[in-house]
Amino acid sequence: MTRIYKHRLFWPAIALLALLLACTIKRPDILGISVLDGHLFGAPIDILRNSSPLLLVAVGMTLVIATRGIDLSVGATVAISGAVALTFIASSANPGSAGTAVGAVIVALGLCLILGAFNGVLVANFGIQPIVATLILMTAGRGVAMLITNGQITTVNSAPFSKLASGYVLGLPVAAIIAYGVFAVVALVVRRTALGMLLEAVGINPEASRLSGVKSRTLVFTVYVLCGLLSGLAGLIFAGNTMAADANNAGLFIELDAILAVVIGGTSLAGGKFNLAGTMIGVLIITTLSLAVTVLGVSPLVTSLFKAIVVIAVTLMMSTRLRAMLGSLRERRRYQEVGA
Amino acid sequence: MKRQTFLRTGLATLSIAAMAAMSACAGSDSSGSEGGGSGSETITIGFSQVGAESGWRAANTKDIQDTLTEENGFKLSFSDAQQKQENQIQALRSYIAQGVDVLAFSPVVETGWDAVLQEAKSANIPVILTDRAVDTTDDTLFASFIGSDFIEEGQRAGDWVVENLDKDLKVVELQGTTGSAPAIDRKEGFGKAIEGTDIEIIDSQTGDFTRAGGKQVMEGFLNSHDDIDLVFAHNDDMGLGAIEAIEAAGKKPGEDIKIVTIDAVKDGMQALVDGKINYIVECNPLLGEDLAEIAKKVVAGESVEKRIVVEDAAFTQDEAAEVLADRTY
């Protein structure tokens, strides 16, 4: 029992359950799933689907943070990806065809790969501090996206492309299948090969790991490229969700949400040990929080405050030092009682 | 070591050159405007737009840029505040520093403008508000406010609902950006119209005037209420987001759940014609003409009206089908 209690994912998991419980109390049948037009429908499915872009970004962010880095440019990459894809579709001769949609996806992901490589080169080859290196793209990226969309919100109609975000396969949302599929593949690759260990080694001590033969530069470069690519994928889902490329608002502050998800999941910002499962729980907490705001009827005026309170509660619960302090307080009281 | 120093010097030179090039562009721009401002008829006007958050805003931006052209006697400096008040204040300050003839802007939120407007007043630069008002005790701070009457818009939407739909309705409301004039006023107007009827707003949440916001909030509403009859969205884009959420929930927008919105941009009108939206109150984005006229008057020292209400139309599904082809936005 105490071992479960001490597991580092115990408290985040409790927080997630508490949020779901709060929604259930307000509305008992909220977690019900029904079948509708041959696909599953209900709040849990909405949570899975809405969490997809954030999960993709957060997976990339986890690996970057594991190498002692950080990527602030993910939100801008999300915006660029959507802008490129929809502009490509809008300017093609046949917007509704599947070929156009595939072309848009390839072009957008290709560009995001290059953006990730740009970050990677700055950090790995030129040794610029990650927070500064990625700040460049964070600031410039939305401008690039605005340039691509001409400052307008580009809207297109392309049934195949919108399937990315709103479609269903085997009754499950396509977006969720992509995101959770990517999550599974990444988790498998880093945990079943030595890759994960090498990443942690780079994060704990880059110099020592380089001296012991780890190609730390290549590794660091690769995680930034992967982070860019996953953000691009998230951007496609984001754009497909409304079929509108909004350069100002797409993925706004998603970098903060992603970092938050990583931290809630128990990965240290100081690099080293990382926990992908924890990141997933963090992502689910953040997405459920948005749903809870609507279900619980929190006033729009205090929405941010409500979210902040939940987040601080989760992080405080996870703090081992706070728990130790509370523990010693309890001990002391017991001691005093015995003494009296 | 030497090579590194050389490289650094090279990079530094390059960046200085780049900066010089950029400022040169800006320089030519401002010198042009100064020449216009002092001597000839050209009026320099600094305009700070809210952002590009919706189709309406895009149409509004385009109209202003197309009307305030050099042929019409204007030199327009345009900036996009990306929905942040501090960006807008910064833009206004830089326009004041450049010494433009007229300042114009659509305030992101209603409050917090007194300081910067006071600066404009001290510099003797008249200010024209477009589309959205500011909340200030001192109304000498701006010359004129051109825009629609948002309370009226909300009320017209409410009136149509009261007159044309069932008497007993459960309504969810998708609010605009919290604290913005259209969100506050449209809510008030709609509330006024349905007062005393059995129509009830059962839930209300902000969707930030964006499609993604409208969709996500609507999903939440659909999960927490079974009995929604009507969606009142403060703009078309949120309504369009709601349509997607309603369709995903297996219901028919416009029939199972009726939708009433405000704005009448192209995508919204198309959805109205397609029967997915039931009624749209127009919010006319074509403010360029009025802005040009008022700007000319204030520069000439003529008196102008403090409040200029822009003419708004409203459309049912049949009316929309007739006018759709002729609309410019």
Best of B4, B53, B224 to mutate (most A CBs within 10 Å, chain A)? B224
* Burial label, A332 (beta-carbon count in 10 A; 0-12, 13-18, 19+): exposed
Q: Is the pLDDT of residue B316 over 60?
A: yes
Confidence at residue B312, expressed as pLDDT on a 0 to 100 scale: 87
Q: Is the pLDDT of residue B27 over 50?
A: no
Confidence at residue B26, expressed as pLDDT on a 0 to 100 scale: 44
Whether A53 and A252 have beta carbons less than 8 Å apart is answered as: no
DSSP assignment string, B47-80: EEE--S-SHHHHHHHHHHHHHS-TTTTEEEEEEE
Q: What is the homologous superfamily of the domain B150-283 according to CATH?
A: Response regulator (3.40.50.2300)
Q: Is the pLDDT of residue B39 over 60?
A: no
What percentage of chain A exceeds 70 in pLDDT?
97
Which of A105-114, A223-232, A296-305 is least confident? A296-305
For residue A3, how many other CB atoms are within 10 A of its CB? 7
Confidence at residue A1, expressed as pLDDT on a 0 to 100 scale: 52
pLDDT tens per residue across span A273-288: 899 999 999 999 999 9
For residue B37, how many other CB atoms are within 10 A of its CB? 19
Q: Which residues partner with B300 through β-bridges?
A: none
**Contact call for A46 and B219, based on CB within 8 A:** yes
Confidence at residue B136, expressed as pLDDT on a 0 to 100 scale: 83
Which of A68-72, A257-261, A267-271, B33-37 is least confident? B33-37
Q: Regarding the domain delimited by B39-148+285-310, which CATH topology (the fold level of the hierarchy) does it fall under?
A: Rossmann fold (3.40.50)
Confidence at residue A151, expressed as pLDDT on a 0 to 100 scale: 72
Q: Is the pLDDT of residue A125 over 90?
A: yes
Confidence at residue B28, expressed as pLDDT on a 0 to 100 scale: 41
Q: What confidence tier does B32 reach under pLDDT thresholds 50, 70, 90?
A: very low
Closest residue in A to B239 (Cα) is A242
Whether A137 and A118 have beta carbons less than 8 Å apart is answered as: yes
A338 within domain boundaries: no
Which of A313-317, B38-42, B75-79 is least confident? B38-42
Q: What confidence tier does B6 reach under pLDDT thresholds 50, 70, 90?
A: low
Best of A34, A54, A155 to mutate (most B CBs within 10 Å, chain B)? A155
**Alpha carbons A119 and A135: distance in angstroms, whole number:** 9
pLDDT tens per residue across span A53-71: 999 999 999 999 999 999 9
Closest residue in A to B174 (Cα) is A300
Greater model confidence, B151 or B84: B151
Mean pLDDT, chain A, rounded, equals 89
For residue B299, how many other CB atoms are within 10 A of its CB? 17
Distance from CA of A328 to the nearest CA of B (A): 43
Give the number of domains in chain A: 1
- Residues B113-117 have a mean pLDDT of 91
DSSP assignment string, B143-161: SEEEE--HHHHHHHHHHHH
Q: What confidence tier does A5 reach under pLDDT thresholds 50, 70, 90?
A: low
Mean pLDDT, chain B, rounded, equals 86
Q: H or E element: which one contains B167? A: none
C-alpha A248, offset from chain centre = 19
Distance from CA of A141 to the nearest CA of B (A): 14
Q: Is the pLDDT of residue A337 over 80?
A: no
**Alpha carbons B291 and B281: distance in angstroms, whole number:** 22
Same fold flag, B39-148+285-310 and B150-283: yes
pLDDT tens per residue across span A162-213: 888 888 888 899 999 999 999 999 999 999 999 999 999 999 998 898 898 8
Confidence at residue B291, expressed as pLDDT on a 0 to 100 scale: 92
A146 neighbourhood in chain B, CB within 8 Å: 52, 80
Confidence at residue B259, expressed as pLDDT on a 0 to 100 scale: 96
Q: Is the pLDDT of residue B2 over 70?
A: no
pLDDT tens per residue across span B232-278: 999 999 999 999 999 988 899 999 999 999 999 888 999 999 999 99
- Residues B41-59 have a mean pLDDT of 85
Q: Three-state SS string across A130-197, please?
A: HHHHHHHHHHHHHHHHHHHHCCCCEECCCHHHHHHHHCEECCEEHHHHHHHHHHHHHHHHHHHCCHHH
Q: What confidence tier does A339 reach under pLDDT thresholds 50, 70, 90?
A: low
Q: What confidence tier does A218 reach under pLDDT thresholds 50, 70, 90?
A: very high
**Alpha carbons A139 and A158: distance in angstroms, whole number:** 30
Q: Is the pLDDT of residue B35 over 50?
A: no
Distance from CA of A295 to the nearest CA of B (A): 6
Chain B interface includes A37 (CB < 8 A): yes
Q: Is the pLDDT of residue B9 over 80?
A: no
B178 neighbourhood in chain A, CB within 8 Å: 300-301
Q: Is the dihedral of CA A197, A198, A202, A206 positive or negative?
A: positive
Which of A151-165, A304-318, B14-28, B62-76 is least confident? B14-28
Confidence at residue A276, expressed as pLDDT on a 0 to 100 scale: 94
Confidence at residue B125, expressed as pLDDT on a 0 to 100 scale: 93
A175: domain CATH number is 1.10.3470
pLDDT tens per residue across span A138-147: 999 988 998 9
Q: Is the pLDDT of residue A102 over 50?
A: yes
Q: Is the pLDDT of residue B25 over 60?
A: no
Residue type, A4: I
- The whole domain housing A166 covers 47-295
Smallest Cβ–Cβ distance between B178 and the set A30, A153, A300 belongs to: A300
Which of A152-156, B205-209, B233-237 is least confident? A152-156
ipTM of the complex: 0.73
Q: What confidence tier does A340 reach under pLDDT thresholds 50, 70, 90?
A: low
**Contact call for A242 and B240, based on CB within 8 A:** yes
A246 within domain boundaries: yes
- Residues A235-243 have a mean pLDDT of 91
Confidence at residue B34, expressed as pLDDT on a 0 to 100 scale: 41
Best of B216, B221, B274 to mutate (most A CBs within 10 Å, chain A)? B216
Q: Which residues contact A259 (CB under 8 A, 6 or more apart)?
A: A61, A65, A70, A269
Q: What confidence tier does A241 reach under pLDDT thresholds 50, 70, 90?
A: confident
Q: Is the pLDDT of residue A257 over 70?
A: yes
Q: Is the pLDDT of residue A104 over 90?
A: yes
Chain A interface includes B61 (CB < 8 A): yes
What percentage of chain B exceeds 90 in pLDDT?
54
Whether B148 and B60 have beta carbons less than 8 Å apart is answered as: no
Domain ranges of chain B: 39-148+285-310, 150-283
Q: What confidence tier does B11 reach under pLDDT thresholds 50, 70, 90?
A: low
- Residues B277-282 have a mean pLDDT of 95
Q: First CA to last CA across chain B, in angstroms?
A: 61
A320 within domain boundaries: no
Q: What confidence tier does B18 reach under pLDDT thresholds 50, 70, 90?
A: low
Q: Is the pLDDT of residue A121 over 50?
A: yes
Question: Which of A135-139, A203-207, B35-39 has the highest average model confidence (pLDDT)?
Answer: A135-139
B236 neighbourhood in chain A, CB within 8 Å: none
pLDDT tens per residue across span B150-191: 999 999 999 999 999 988 899 999 999 888 888 999 999 999
